[in-house]
Structure 1
Amino acid sequence: MTAKRLLILAHAPSPNTERLRAAVLAGAREIAGVEIAMRAPLEATPEDALAADALILGTTENLGYMSGALKDFFDRSYYPCLDRMQGRPYALYIRAGNDGAGARRSVESVATGLRWRAVQEPLIFRGPWREEFVEACRELGMAMAAGLEAGVF
C-alpha cells in the first residue's frame, strides 16, 4: 500500500512562526505510514500540491490578508491545480497580530475556488505570542497525519 502524502505549506518569516511550522512537522511525524513534505510557499510548485493527499497551510496575517508568499503560491498554482484537486482535505493556521479574519477569508476564498475541503476550523493565533500556540500546531500536524493514515480524509 502506498503511503499517503501530507504537504505542509507554511510561510515562516520570524523565529516564532518558524516554531509553529516546526511544531506542525513534528506532530505529523509522530504518525507512521504518512509521507510528510514541507515547503515554503515561495519554493513550492503546483506539482507539490498535486502530489499531496492533504495539505496544512500556514500563513501570517499581513495587512488583513494572507501572506504575500502564500498568495504567490496560489497565483502560480491555481490554474494548474484547478479541476485536479477537488475535495482535497486541508487545514489552516494563521499567526495574526489582529483578528485574522481577513487572512482567513482570503485563504478560504482560494480554497473554495479550488474546491478543497476544510477538515477543521482554522487555528487563528491572535495577539501577543503565547507558548500554547506551539502545542496547538503540533496537535494539528498529528491530527492531519492520523486522519490520512486512518483513511478519514
Structure 2
Amino acid sequence: MLVVYHSQSGTCARLARAAAQGAADTEGVVVEVRRACDASTETVADAAGLLLVAAENSGTLSGEAKAFLDRIFYPAIDRALVLPYALMMSAGNDGRGAVRQAERIFSGIPFTSACEPMIARGEFTDEHKAQAAELGAGFAAGLEMGIF
C-alpha cells in the first residue's frame, strides 16, 4: 500500500503517518509512505493501492498533490494501471471542491475508489488522527482480503 502526501503546514504529514500506522497493523500489508514530490509512476505501479493525502487550497487540490496526479496520469494510462485508491483531504473550508477534483483525475486513469473520502476540516485534532488511522487500517484490510 502506498501513502502519498503533500504537506505545507504539517497536517497532511500527520494524517499520512496516522493512516500508515493504522495500515501497518494489518498483517500481510507492506506500507510505503512517500512525499508527493518523491512519488513516481513506478512507485504507484508497485503498489496494491494508493492512499492520497492532500490539502485543499482555495477550494481546489493543493499544488504538489495535483502535480503528482498530473505526473502519473498519462504514464498510468499507458501502463493500463487500475488500482484502488482512498483519499484523505485536509481542508480549511469544506474540502468538497478538492475532493471532486481529485476524484475526476482518478476516474480518468481509471483508478477505483475504495471508500468515501475523509475530509479533516480545521486544525489537526486527535479525532482527525483516529479517523486517519481507521481509514488506513480499513483500506489495508480491504487490500489484504482482495475486496478492492
Residue of structure 2 equivalent to 1:55: 50
The alignment's TM-score, normalised by the length of structure 1, stands at 0.91
More helix by share: 2
Q: 2: distance between equivalents of 1:92 and 1:103?
A: 10
Shift of residue 128 of structure 1?
Answer: 3.9
Residue of structure 2 equivalent to 1:3: none
Amino acid at match of 2:5: A
The alignment's TM-score, normalised by the length of structure 2, stands at 0.93
Q: 2: distance between equivalents of 1:17 and 1:79?
A: 26
Q: 2: distance between equivalents of 1:130 and 1:111?
A: 28
Q: For each residue in 1:13-39, what CA deviation from the matched residue of structure 2 results, as whole angstroms up to 9, or x when unmatched?
A: 223332211101100110121111111
Shift of residue 12 of structure 1?
Answer: 2.2
Amino acid at match of 2:102: V
Q: How many residues align?
A: 147
Alignment of 1:10-49 (within 5 A): 10-49=5-44
Residue of structure 1 equivalent to 2:81: 85
**Match of residue 98, structure 1, among 76, 93, 96:** 93
Residue of structure 1 equivalent to 2:112: 117
Moved more, 11-20 or 63-72: 11-20
User: The residue matched to 2:59 in structure 1 has which SS?
Assistant: coil
Q: 2: distance between equivalents of 1:108 and 1:121?
A: 11
Shift of residue 55 of structure 1?
Answer: 0.8
Q: 1: distance between equivalents of 2:10 and 2:63?
A: 18
Q: 1: distance between equivalents of 2:64 and 2:123?
A: 22
The question of whether the paired residues in 1 share the 8 Å contact of 2:11 and 2:90 is answered with no
Extract unaligned runs of 5+ from structure 2.
none
Q: 1: distance between equivalents of 2:127 and 2:41?
A: 32
